DNA sequence: TAATTTTGATAAATCGTTTTAGTAAACTTA
DNA sequence: TAAGTTTACTAAAACGATTTATCAAAATTA
């Protein structure tokens, strides 16, 4: 087993030339370094014949670049993050990069630990959905010259590349949509979080409510986990009977909320109209189909890779950060119309 | 920026000792190599003080092990694979391994290309859901001494480690369950595939049908993509009016099938009872709740890591392959009972 | 006291590349 | 024909670790 992998040294010895020559030819520097055409051809032919490929480890060690990007998200099994993972994969491989993933579970301590682990592991760049209070770690990465792009959330205090969506604007539109459909008591059901993607959604809701001279009904679910979320939302609806419209700021909340409403015998959309952030395959299957804000996954992935590759590209290293704020799409379905 | 990382050489120079000494101490060989306790302490103190960590790249190059495992699945954005990814992540990191993912889209050419790419990249092991006709590539990996575990599917012709579930048995049980609930014309809706996980499910269905002296109604959807699948299944129900039970071999087929049945005005479970392979969060949310076969995700992940780490562990390198066949659980819900 | 063993440390090879700084030989130039 | 230039190629250092072989001094033995 395990026939030893050929090294550049083996090639050189067999062909009776120097390692340097082979290396130059391999790296397309034959012309520049004045290696004769004849020898170049000969070496190339032999390399092809034996199917030699250079050791990336050795290259990484020598060049100080490992061609690895860390994709650090809240939870890789979450459909949103898994979808992005899928979409960036191809672009990364096309550019010779590998992607290592890891999940923070939105815990700051875990995120910091992961960042330290990977810093030491000679990765080149990080794509991160930051947890709360991660500013210092992130600044550390920048100081040490790692590539870095934030997404889903950004940090107002840190000047760096990011890819986010128009949270406030979309939340405004979703709320206004419910109001336009005749809702008078529109509730916001969100998670208790001070992270900017959530506070922006809250802002959008509040703006729409106040512009229409309505009263806000904000419910922030604490300690978010499936079972607890369901119970809390059930309580909320029991205690707030007049609600006729709900905007959920994440699809998980919507799933739980819809089930709670179902069990309370609340008719959607007859009695309560519903809109959710983060569209999902299942919203289109649900009865009624759920109106939802769709994030532009492909575009997010594209911009993420554009931003990170841009940073890792030697030539453009010291051009400024790339910051993208992308538009969402409100997919209007039965839950807010019939 | 980028304060240069310390190397073992810097440590040695500052302390006025040799690189060798530092290395021995770092690797816990101080005693064995008779480094004096005094010097050992001194070096350790300094290392801690400056926060030195060794370069994994250099170690990998020297030791020929990169501590990287490739997780190669059909589609990382698929909920099943994403969940497994999440579950193996922690175990891998605890053991000092990183995980690189990639998606084959079940295309043999792509899988072969990915395998070649990663072979060259000095990874240590592979966790793979093999595409059709991947036997040769997989054998190649084994010959070259890579760690390897297959999952979801296995290859009868290749002796290697794998983690799979009892496809045939569960399919039998699901079908029998429908028959027990009074179904007389039970259809199987599956994908057209010769891969063993699918043919096993087919076998289970067929056995149950013939043991009960019923007639099989097998529908194999070709060229599986969302839109086409839906259309084909719609046709199938239109052309086979008497069907009173359906077993879907994947949850995607079930989602499409349920929508098709909904649009045809077929009542589930009144008119047609439904069971699906691969339980899903939404089966519990759907109305009616869908009966489904649940694969033991945690156990799969656990066994995958057990098998791969076992192989990568020098000490146990040449013990035989580990093969796990895990039991599923039939979650009986409304779609097959009311 | 001479020979042997133990102790405590190190020099140098190695892993597989890239790249700087040469070096002979062939060719120009004046 | 002596000096300078090109041409075609290479030796050797580096990247940052691990490990084998070696070595001088101290301690033990005979």
**Which of A86, A145, A262 is facing B1, going by the closest CB pair?**
A145
Cα dist. A177→A18, A212, A218, A277, A335 in Å?
72, 12, 17, 13, 12
- pLDDT value of residue B258: 93
Mutate to test the interface with B, among A115, A117, A121 (most CBs of B within 10 A): A121
Q: Nearest-CA distance from A208 to chain B in Å?
A: 31
Q: How far apart are the first and last CA of chain A?
A: 67
* Angle, alpha carbons B204-B209-B215 (nearest 5°): 135
- pLDDT value of residue A199: 97
Local confidence band at A3 (pLDDT 50, 70, 90 cut-offs): low
> What distance separates the 2 farthest-apart alpha carbons in chain A?
88
Which of B203, B275, B251, B321 is CA-nearest to residue B80? B251
On whether the CB atoms of residues B61 and A61 are closer than 8 A, the answer is: yes
Model confidence pLDDT, tens digit, residues A296-307: 999 999 999 999
Q: How far apart are CA A30 and CA A40, in angstroms?
A: 7
Residue A74, token pair as written in the block: 């809240």
Residue B80, φ and ψ in degrees, nearest 5? -60, -50
Residue B277, φ and ψ in degrees, nearest 5? -80, 155
Which of B222, B248, B84, B77 is CA-nearest to residue B152? B84
- pLDDT value of residue B241: 86
Q: Which residues of chain B have a CB within 8 Å of the CB of A142?
A: 1
**Which of B2, B86, B101 is facing A75, going by the closest CB pair?**
B86
> What is the number of CB-based contacts under 8 A between chain A and chain B?
114
Q: Are strands A147-151 and A161-165 parallel, antiparallel or unpaired?
A: parallel
As a residue count, chain A comes to: 338
Output the 3-class SS for B33-53.
CCCCHHHHHHHHHHHHHHCCC
State CA B227 to chain mean position distance: 26
Residue B43, token pair as written in the block: 């070096």
Model confidence pLDDT, tens digit, residues A38-73: 999 999 999 999 999 999 999 999 999 999 999 999
Residue B308, token pair as written in the block: 């791969």
Residue B123, token pair as written in the block: 């990874």
On whether the CB atoms of residues A26 and A58 are closer than 8 A, the answer is: no
- For residue B7, give the nucleotide whose C1' atom is nearest its CA: D16
Tell if the CB–CB gap between B61 and A56 is shorter than 8 Å. Answer: no
Nearest CA in chain A to B70: A100
Q: Is residue A273 within a helix (H) or strand (E), and if so which, with residue range?
A: strand A273-277
- pLDDT value of residue A38: 94
Span A265-284, mean pLDDT?
95
Which residues in 23-52 of chain A line strand C, with CB less than 7 A from it?
A: 23-24, 26-27, 52
Q: Strand D: list positions under 7 Å from protein Cβ.
A: 7-21
Which domains does chain B show, CATH number per domain? 8-54 (1.10.260), 66-165+298-327 (3.40.50.2300), 167-294+330-336 (3.40.50.2300)
Note the CA–C1' distance, A311 to D9, in angstroms: 37
Tell if the CB–CB gap between A57 and B103 is shorter than 8 Å. Answer: no
On whether the CB atoms of residues A299 and A305 are closer than 8 A, the answer is: no
**Which of A61, A282, A287 is facing B61, going by the closest CB pair?**
A61
Tell if the CB–CB gap between A2 and B53 is shorter than 8 Å. Answer: no
Tell if the CB–CB gap between B57 and A60 is shorter than 8 Å. Answer: yes
Which residues lie below 8 Å from residue A2, measured CB to CB, with a gap of 6+? B143, B144, B145
Q: How far apart are CA B254 and CA B277, in angstroms?
A: 8
Other C-beta atoms lying within 10 Å of the C-beta of residue A23: 15
Q: What is the DSSP letter of A42?
A: H
Counting Cα atoms < 13 Å in the Cβ hemisphere of A21 gives 20
Q: Nearest-CA distance from B70 to chain A in Å?
A: 9
Q: Is the pLDDT of residue A104 over 70?
A: yes
Residue B242: strand, helix, or coil: coil
- pLDDT by position in tens, chain B (length 338): 455 689 999 999 999 999 999 999 999 999 999 999 999 999 999 999 999 999 999 999 999 999 999 999 999 999 999 999 999 999 999 999 999 999 999 999 999 999 999 998 899 999 999 999 999 999 999 999 999 999 999 999 999 999 999 999 999 999 999 999 999 999 999 999 999 999 999 999 999 999 999 999 999 998 656 667 788 888 898 888 899 999 999 999 999 999 999 989 999 999 999 999 999 999 999 989 999 999 999 999 999 999 999 999 876 666 789 999 999 999 999 999 97
- pLDDT value of residue A7: 96
On whether the CB atoms of residues A272 and A214 are closer than 8 A, the answer is: no
* Angle, alpha carbons A39-A45-A51 (nearest 5°): 135
Note the CA–C1' distance, A26 to D8, in angstroms: 17
- For residue A7, give the nucleotide whose C1' atom is nearest its CA: C16
Q: How far apart are CA A116 and CA A120, in angstroms?
A: 6
Q: Is residue B74 within a helix (H) or strand (E), and if so which, with residue range?
A: none
Residue keyed to tokens 């709740």: B289
Q: What share of chain B is helix, strand, coil (3-state, %, to 5)?
A: 45, 15, 35
- pLDDT value of residue B222: 83
On whether the CB atoms of residues A297 and A87 are closer than 8 A, the answer is: yes
**Which of B60, B258, B281 is facing A57, going by the closest CB pair?**
B60
- pLDDT value of residue A1: 45
* Angle, alpha carbons A201-A278-B298 (nearest 5°): 120
Which of B211, B198, B188 is CA-nearest to residue B168? B198
């Amino acid at each position: 087993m395990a026939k030893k992998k050929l090294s550049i040294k083996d090639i050189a010895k067999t062909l009776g030339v120097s390692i340097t020559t082979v290396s130059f030819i391999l790296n397309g520097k034959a012309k520049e370094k004045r290696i004769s055409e004849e020898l170049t051809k000969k070496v190339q032919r032999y390399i092809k014949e034996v199917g030699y490929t250079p050791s990336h480890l050795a290259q990484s060690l020598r060049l100080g670049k490992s061609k690895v990007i860390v994709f650090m998200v809240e939870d890789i099994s979450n459909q949103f993050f898994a979808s992005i993972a899928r979409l960036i994969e191809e672009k990364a491989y096309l550019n010779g990069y590998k992607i290592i993933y890891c999940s923070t579970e939105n815990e700051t301590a875990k995120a910091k630990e992961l960042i330290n682990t990977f810093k030491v592991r000679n990765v080149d760049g990080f794509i991160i959905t930051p947890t709360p209070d991660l500013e210092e770690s992130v600044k550390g990465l920048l100081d040490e010259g790692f590539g870095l792009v934030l997404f889903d959330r950004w940090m107002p205090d840190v000047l760096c590349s990011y890819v986010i969506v128009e949270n406030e604007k979309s939340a405004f539109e979703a709320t206004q949509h419910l109001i336009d459909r005749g809702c008078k008591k529109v509730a916001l059901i969100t998670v208790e979080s001070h992270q900017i993607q959530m506070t922006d959604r809250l802002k959008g809701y509040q703006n729409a409510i106040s512009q229409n001279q309505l009263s806000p009904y904000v419910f922030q679910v604490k300690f978010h986990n499936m079972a607890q979320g369901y119970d809390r939302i059930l309580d909320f609806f029991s205690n707030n009977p007049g609600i006729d419209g709900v905007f959920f700021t994440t699809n998980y909340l919507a799933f739980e909320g819809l089930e709670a409403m179902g069990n309370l015998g609340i008719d959607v959309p007859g009695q309560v109209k519903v809109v959710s952030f983060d569209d999902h395959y299942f919203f289109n299957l649900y009865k009624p189909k759920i109106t939802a804000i769709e994030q532009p996954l492909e575009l997010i992935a594209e911009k993420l890779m554009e931003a990170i590759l841009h940073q890792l590209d030697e030539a453009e290293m010291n051009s400024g950060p790339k910051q993208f704020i992308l538009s969402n799409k409100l997919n209007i379905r039965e839950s807010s119309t019939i």
